[in-house]
Amino acid sequence: MVQLLTPEGKFAPSASAEEFLPYFEKLTDADFRKFYTDMVTVRRYDTEATNLQRQGQLALWVPSHGQEGAQVGSAYATKDQDHIFPAYREHAIAHIRGVDLIELIRQFKGITHGGWNPFDPKHKNFHIYTLVIGSHALHSTGYAMGITLDGKTNTGTPDTDEAVIVYFGDGATSQGDVSEAFVFAASYQTPQVFFVQNNHWAISVPVSVQARVPLYLRGTGFGIPGTQIDGNDVFASYAVTAKHLEDARSGKGPSLIEAHTYRIGAHTSSDDPTKYRTDEELQGWIKKDPIARLETYLRESGADEKFFTSVHEQAADFAADIRRRAVELTAPGPESIFRSVYSEPHPVMEEQQAWLAAYDASFEEEA
């Protein structure tokens, strides 16, 4: 397992980390502080969203608490031209790509048909959240085949060459869609990274039931090489993803990363994890927290109390702003249904919209 930063916050790269170190060495102290700031901000946001759900503001929330190391490191390893296909827990990745996190709130409030800013399904090349487990593995492979056919990758210009990264969970690897995506990715040598956040549970089913071999080996039989990383180590996540994406952009085909991490919270706001997992297991993972270990590292490399206080203040302000805007969000009118069907105005949609408006108005006349 590739690890650079131990759970105790010591920089001690594993032997397997060697080929990835050149990528890590490009980072500066300012990058480490950015990683930390984003991890703290998104954790604070996640807590706020969980509270908003409990207070009846959101229909559902899917917490990301505990998975910030895997997400922040890998997101910083992407380039603007890369295409990201998330599942539904990738809040830190959305944030780093520049998606306004109120857009995720809009989705979980149930007042949008999807898309960001507010209806664009590929705003910032961050594609829509996908709750149908594993289906977006196929979408991402299709997209990666498309950018190859369009000549947008492996042209020898790394500043603009494109790649695709798709995120899904340990449970998703059991889906037929993911296997099919592996077949097509290997056959067409797509410029693509499959990033598995192995948080050890698929709702109440432990990964040990679904996978008899480590997940990073799942691709091997398809011809897709894999790397296993400590997903709570933001440095490992950055360095390994940077290399895998660079390989993808330069014609080396698809690959897989398995990030070992843990979902500290419930699967969703509808789940009670105390029904199926032990407190002992949870406490063991809390000791491997991705934020705490980076904090130790930063303190030992000279970050002072003022830095940490200011990060926590910024995160609290960020969450307060989200709360204020979340409460003010209103549902769009029914015309938004018609607006989201075609990318351009369409006569049948206009006709149907006019019919619905007249139908609605007929009630007003009766009243």
Ligand X SMILES: Cc1ncc(C[n+]2csc(CCOP(=O)(O)OP(=O)(O)O)c2C)c(N)n1
Determine which one of 44, 89, 95, 263 is catalytic: 263
| 276 annotated active-site | yes
Q: Beta partners for 169?
A: 197
Give me the helices (H) in 154-206, please.
176-188
| Calpha distance 161→177 (Å, rounded) | 27
Work out the number of other CB atoms within 10 angstroms of the CB of residue 196.
30
In 3D space, the residue among 173, 211, 194, 165 whose CA is nearest the CA of residue 257 turns out to be 194
Taking the least distance from each CB to ligand X, the nearer of 176 and 347 is: 176
Q: Which residues, 323 to 352, sit near ligand X by CB under 6 A?
A: none
95 is known as an active-site residue: no
Kindly state the tokens that stand for 175: 């889906």
Choose, from 276, 324, 342, 359, the residue flagged as catalytic. 276
Q: Is 216 in the site for ligand X (CB under 6 A)?
A: no
- Candidates 166-174, 281-289, 295-303, 316-324 — which segment interacts with Mg ion by CB under 5 A? 166-174
Q: Which is nearer to ligand X, 17 or 93 (CB)?
A: 93
Q: Using the rule CB under 6 A, which residue among 43, 44, 65, 89 binds ligand X? A: 89
Site string for Mg ion, 330-349 (x = CB under 5 A): --------------------
Sequence length of the chain is 367
Rounded to the nearest whole angstrom, what is the least distance from the CB of residue 182 to ligand X in the complex? 15
Assess 65 for contact with ligand X (CB under 6 A).
no
Q: What b-and-e string marks burial along 38-72, b requiring 16 or more CB atoms within 10 Å of the CB?
A: bbbbbbbbbebbbebbeeebbeebbbbbbbbbbbb
Site for ligand X in 169-188 (CB under 6 A): 169-172
133 interacts with, out of ligand X, Mg ion, none, CB within 5 to 8 A per kind: ligand X
d(CA 219, CA 141): 14
For residue 118, cis peptide bond before it (omega within 30 degrees of 0) = yes
CA dihedral 13, 282, 287, 285 (to 10 degrees): 10
C-beta of 161 vs 177, nearer to ligand X: 177
Q: Which residues are catalytic?
A: 263, 267, 276
Binding site for Mg ion (CB under 5 A): 169-171, 199, 202
Binding site for ligand X (CB under 6 A): 89, 131-133, 168-172, 199, 201-203, 263, 267
